Structure 1
Amino acid sequence: MVVANPLSDCLNGGCAAMDCQKVRLASLLHDIGHSAFSHTVELGLRRLDDIAPPRHREHEAYTRDIIEAFGEHEVVKEALNNAGVTEDARSFFRRVGAIATGEKEMLDEHDRFLSSIVSGEIDADRIDYLLRDGLHTGMHFIGFDLQHLLEYVVRNGERVGLGREGASRSFDELVSINIGEAFLIARYHYYTTIVNHPDNVAANTMLMEALEQSLRKFSESSSKGEMQRELDRFFTAYDDNDVLDFIRKNGGDDAEKVLNALREGRIFHCLADLRSRALSPEMRLYIELLNKKPSLINGVEREVRSLMGTDRMWIRTSAVRGVPKYLEVKVGNGFRFLYDESKLAASLVMEILSSNSLYFYGEHAVPHAIFKEKWHDITAILEGTMAKEREGAGFQLERLLLLFHELLNVAGGFQKSVRYITRVYRMVKRVQERYPGSFHYVFDEHFRIVYAPELFIDIMKLGAMGLLHIMVEEKSRELADYGIENGCSDYPGRRNHIYYRFAMTSEGKRYCEHIAPSYEEYVEFLSAHMPEIYGEVYSGQNQK
């Protein structure tokens, strides 16, 4: 509320009274569906595919249902009537729930804009926890100037952008870009210094371990229906103490021992904290794939424990989440993606995405020399896990890398590169349409280009891992392309813009050759159809 109110007031000179009410309600209730212990419990449930259905791994569904249920209460209906709301109470709160959770497909354009204030790229939630957590942890350097930001937030259709109302001048563009860059830097420091701090990960690991033991034992003595009802209580009824009581009641002596150690501050020893820069490109990709499917960690953990001769070792991965995918700044009379206007922002997003880590924890310290000795075997365990998964559905990220591999073959071999990320978007969309199951990206029709936010992030991840070489370059364009009149004093001539050039790294090429047999049918499709798709997309059209 502290952030949502001034943010909504600053956009378009303030929202209408009812719009402000919806933003306030959505802001107050947007996390009401969180389980006790928040994301820690959700991350634990994501590892338990066999006992926790998808609904019990994300809090958004609970948030939406809880908010919608407010419309069933007579006292709430009366309050809405007194406030002059003529809409059916349940329908009203259904929209508030969609605004809170960012489910824009359920909203019209105006309410999608309100949703972007609560759950968007630069939204009240992200700003609030950056400022609040920075304050309470003493990490003030992760913060940024809220008042400065509020001066430059502006409505961009159904989204919140950065800029000034009216025709943008070069100084305003520069400040808007600087604010966007500061926001990215703040998020980077927030995750690397707070969320992914080894001690914080250790404490979360202990709670998750105790909870997993308790849930598995509970499931062994309960029916499927009882298990689902108990999981529902985690999100709708239990507070932190209730969850701790559940663990003590169902987890046995071992879970109780872990809880006592956690309460007394005796957290697990960090046996190895392997940051991205210490890992090969292949290992960076394995960590990302484990993040995508956390249940795979259980099997890896069992094998590593056997290898190390102990059952008191835990493996965790970390990743930065919520990286802005379509943050836009005002340029001339229109809006452009921040990453297309700032080399720093383009580099920052890859730096942020490269901050994945692999942690090993234990109750007792283990000499680093033992890890060094066993590292080859641990790598083999991870590779075996990935190979087994490829026998099934495989991984979307690997299929994307294989697409780049074939694209560069068509483009003239590995001495050459391909330009323009928007053409890559269109190419992936064509492959997705013609080879069902290859990709599952959602291409959003509300952008001025063919664009899938998650596809942008996946491409940047491949660059961050060192499997794809992404070069950020500049090229001049006519002022008319930006809605800027020729002769403007701020722009005496053409204007430079950023574009991306892609090439395979030697590590990326070797990795593709290694995994290609596991995707034989897909690779054959690419070999047969990529020349045609390449011709359709790279046919001389003037696309950025």
Structure 2
Amino acid sequence: MSRTRLIVRNKRRLTFLTRRLYTLKEGLQWSGMEVIHDPVHGTIRLSRFEEALIQTPQFQRLRGIEQLAMAYFAYPGANHTRFEHSIGTMHMAGRIADQLGLSRDEKVLVRAGGLLHDLGHPAFSHAVESILRRNPIYQPVVQGRTFSNHEAFTQYMIEEILSEDENLLQRAPDSSRDYFTTLSHIAIGDPFGRPPYLAQIISGDIDADRIDFLMRDSYHTGVSLGLIDVNQILESLVLENGRVLLGGRDGYSEEMALVAAESMLTARAHHYSAIIHHPTTQAARAMLLYALEGTLERVRSKMEKEDKNDKNSVSTIVMDFFLRSTDADIFSFIRSHGGPTEQRLITRLKEGRICPLIMRFNYSRLHPQTRTALAIITENGRAKKIFEETLARRIHDLHGTPTLVDLDMASGLPKTIRVKINDEEGFFYDNSALANGLIRAISRQISLCVFTRDREKRPPVRDVLEEIKTLSIQLLRFIREETPIQLEALLLIFHTLNKLFSEETDSYISIPKIHNITWIYRTTHQLASIPQLKHLFNYNYTHEYEFPYSDELYKNIQTLVAVEMLNEDIRTIEHKNRWKQRYEYTLTPIGALYAEEIAPHYKKEIQIITEYLKQHKHAVIHDLIRMPKRRYQA
């Protein structure tokens, strides 16, 4: 073959291969796509089923939804979308499946689950999703099922829409409805009768979703979140008794498994402080939310005036935000239906004129009682909306400063990941002092920002702090009347223990230090079985460990420690020829004061808790810590 002919033949072959390649920025131009070039993971290969999933209108919608919503105002490079993140999650899910030695069918399921895990995200992601919690009347109801988060929409789209797509069914490994139901539950991290490890791969403490978004967000924002050693993390994952654990072959590899997991936790902590809690990101989010909620209220009022019979009309609009809309569609909706104030906010966003920050309150600037109140308020969507709007209105009324307020607290604590050290299982945070410290640091990440278009009219910080304190106390009364506050109920257990075990002299006081966090799990589980207390301790417990465990209960314990209502000490103890960490808890002076203040609201409940603890006094393993009374009461 001549040199010229060889060059031409190779050139044609190269052209053919190039046409079959797909880059995230070029779009789906070739139906025969088999390969994706991703800036984070490199080459990603697709199956025919995955190609068909990507080709659906539901998945293509994710091209128009920014991964970090409004963060591009702070980080211009953060223009990546849910589309590419979902493909990256699919790829990471496949790598985890390979590491764990899963079967081909299981790998197909978890890759598809990773691909579809964000299918139900609304335009502007979590910013718009919060409307459902802030305005429960807007939550859509379909066939008796209430949709209150993006996971519910993801399930709906997979089970009701994708399962009816003829082109997709032709390429699916199984075209039955049961298959798509299983896929939907794996996509949202719910085992639904399947082995729990399939859901863990998509949504756990160390999962495909988290690995990809930390790496991708770092790449596009330019923010270094530290070294996330993906290969080391994958090497550290093992499958034991149907669950994904961290482990190793020997002492050194076990230690490296902990280091790899710690690196992810460090990245998660930095991700919140640098990106999510960036004041510009929060300002843009507050502007969008105010404009959208104002527009929806105008639409609802208009429908009421026109005597519309369909009470679910606004909910139908909101449902479209999750099923069909892109970020651009939200702007168009506000443009079409918003009033003058909403129009001005959207114009400022479009022109990049973000409301400047005039003050910001973080953990160190808030009193522990105020931190506790705000932690409770952020968990209640309606209360959070009332807090932000009322604080903004009070600042305006008192100081003539038109403001927007945004309150946010970090979430996503690692709660369930287990490690296997010396053939013995335990929780990750029980085996890593760094993890324990990082969990506390994440729990303390609170960002309360006040923004205004007029920098010159800055109200005194002391006045605003007083308004925050007063308003938060008022809202707690509102929340107590509407729903039980589990955080306060947990505090009341320690308050009762103090009453039972404390000893006082003229100058000294001895208070109980409760040994071992497992006592708290067992006690709350028992209290939940008492009908009069079920509403206060109604956690979802798992019994797969040697004690009843609850993610939410662990989170509440860490929150009380973070806001300084409880003091957590770590004691090292020997167990089976190995030194382990054990947590011990005391009620802080501020916690004792707060508990005294809320006790009148829980008189009947405290009586029952007291009777229970008296009957089981012998089971409360504790020490008495002696200190000067003036020190504890200070």
Question: TM-score normalised to the size of structure 1?
Answer: 0.90
TM-fit CA distance, 1:366: 5.3
Instruction: Check conservation: 2:117, 2:154, Cα contact below 8 A.
Output: yes
Instruction: Check conservation: 2:401, 2:458, Cα contact below 8 A.
Output: no
Residue 149 of structure 2 aligns with which residue?
58
Instruction: Check conservation: 1:416, 1:503, Cα contact below 8 A.
Output: yes
Residue 421 of structure 1 aligns with which residue?
517
Matched, 1:133 2:217: yes
Amino acid at match of 1:51: Y
Residue 108 of structure 1 aligns with which residue?
194
* 1:406-485 correspondence to structure 2 within 5 Å: 406-412=496-502, 414-434=510-530, 435-478=533-576
Which of 182, 199, 205 is the matching residue for 1:121? 205
Distance of 2:155 and 2:256 partners within structure 1: 37
SS at match of 2:290: helix
TM-fit CA distance, 1:261: 0.5
Distance of 2:98 and 2:389 partners within structure 1: 53
TM-fit CA distance, 1:283: 1.2
User: Cα deviations across residues 483-541 of structure 1 (Å, max 9, x unaligned)?
Assistant: xxxxxxxxxxx21111001001111000001111111211122222222244356599x
Instruction: Check conservation: 2:134, 2:382, Cα contact below 8 A.
Output: yes
Q: State the number of aligned residues.
A: 512
Instruction: Check conservation: 2:362, 2:446, Cα contact below 8 A.
Output: yes
Distance of 1:338 and 1:349 partners within structure 2: 11
Distance of 1:138 and 1:289 partners within structure 2: 33
Matched, 1:4 2:96: no
Residue 402 of structure 1 aligns with which residue?
492
Distance of 1:181 and 1:354 partners within structure 2: 18
| Bigger mean CA deviation after superposition, 377-386 or 435-444 | 377-386
Distance of 1:361 and 1:56 partners within structure 2: 32
Distance of 2:589 and 2:163 partners within structure 1: 58
Instruction: Check conservation: 1:391, 1:518, Cα contact below 8 A.
Output: no
TM-fit CA distance, 1:175: 1.1
Matched, 1:31 2:126: no
| Bigger mean CA deviation after superposition, 444-453 or 126-135 | 444-453
Residue 74 of structure 1 aligns with which residue?
166
Residue 46 of structure 1 aligns with which residue?
133
User: Cα deviations across residues 440-491 of structure 1 (Å, max 9, x unaligned)?
Assistant: 211112234321111111101100111100001100112xxxxxxxxxxxxx
Distance of 2:547 and 2:610 partners within structure 1: 27
* 1:117-516 correspondence to structure 2 within 5 Å: 117-164=201-248, 168-222=249-303, 223-304=310-391, 305-309=393-397, 310=400, 312-365=402-455, 370-412=460-502, 414-434=510-530, 435-478=533-576, 494-516=577-599
Amino acid at match of 2:257: S
- Residues 506 and 258 of structure 1: is their aligned pair in 2 closer, same or farther, counting only changes over 3 Å? same
Instruction: Check conservation: 1:116, 1:158, Cα contact below 8 A.
Output: no
SS at match of 2:183: helix
SS at match of 2:511: coil
Instruction: Check conservation: 1:71, 1:91, Cα contact below 8 A.
Output: no
Instruction: Check conservation: 2:218, 2:225, Cα contact below 8 A.
Output: yes
Instruction: Check conservation: 1:134, 1:142, Cα contact below 8 A.
Output: no
Distance of 1:76 and 1:53 partners within structure 2: 27
- Residues 56 and 365 of structure 1: is their aligned pair in 2 closer, same or farther, counting only changes over 3 Å? farther
SS at match of 1:25: helix
TM-fit CA distance, 1:51: 3.4
Any stretches of 5+ residues in structure 2 without a counterpart? 1-89, 304-309, 504-509, 624-634
Question: TM-score normalised to the size of structure 2?
Answer: 0.77
| Bigger mean CA deviation after superposition, 307-316 or 258-267 | 307-316
Residue 484 of structure 1 aligns with which residue?
none
Amino acid at match of 2:159: E
Instruction: Check conservation: 2:417, 2:428, Cα contact below 8 A.
Output: yes
Amino acid at match of 2:216: R
Distance of 1:107 and 1:351 partners within structure 2: 35
TM-fit CA distance, 1:374: 4.0
TM-fit CA distance, 1:258: 0.4
Amino acid at match of 1:176: A
Instruction: Check conservation: 1:131, 1:143, Cα contact below 8 A.
Output: no
| Bigger mean CA deviation after superposition, 122-131 or 66-75 | 66-75
TM-fit CA distance, 1:53: 5.5
Aligned Cα RMSD in Å?
Answer: 2.1
Instruction: Check conservation: 2:528, 2:534, Cα contact below 8 A.
Output: yes
TM-fit CA distance, 1:208: 0.7
Instruction: Check conservation: 1:176, 1:330, Cα contact below 8 A.
Output: no
Distance of 1:125 and 1:24 partners within structure 2: 11
SS at match of 2:580: strand
Identity of aligned residues (%): 29
Instruction: Check conservation: 1:405, 1:504, Cα contact below 8 A.
Output: yes
SS at match of 1:108: coil
SS at match of 2:359: strand
TM-fit CA distance, 1:300: 2.9
TM-fit CA distance, 1:349: 0.7
TM-fit CA distance, 1:247: 0.9
Instruction: Check conservation: 2:389, 2:405, Cα contact below 8 A.
Output: no
Any stretches of 5+ residues in structure 1 without a counterpart? 479-493
Distance of 1:451 and 1:59 partners within structure 2: 26
Amino acid at match of 1:108: R
Distance of 2:521 and 2:333 partners within structure 1: 47
SS at match of 1:417: strand
| Bigger mean CA deviation after superposition, 224-233 or 21-30 | 224-233
- Residues 408 and 175 of structure 1: is their aligned pair in 2 closer, same or farther, counting only changes over 3 Å? farther
Residue 481 of structure 1 aligns with which residue?
none
Distance of 2:209 and 2:296 partners within structure 1: 31
| Bigger mean CA deviation after superposition, 257-266 or 523-532 | 523-532
Which of 595, 598, 604 is the matching residue for 1:521? 604
Q: Which has the larger radius of gyration?
A: 2
Distance of 1:374 and 1:475 partners within structure 2: 46
TM-fit CA distance, 1:63: 0.4
Distance of 1:315 and 1:535 partners within structure 2: 49
- Residues 34 and 141 of structure 1: is their aligned pair in 2 closer, same or farther, counting only changes over 3 Å? closer
SS at match of 2:558: helix
Distance of 1:40 and 1:539 partners within structure 2: 45
TM-fit CA distance, 1:358: 1.4
Instruction: Check conservation: 2:228, 2:263, Cα contact below 8 A.
Output: yes
SS at match of 2:512: coil
Distance of 1:61 and 1:340 partners within structure 2: 33
TM-fit CA distance, 1:56: 4.4
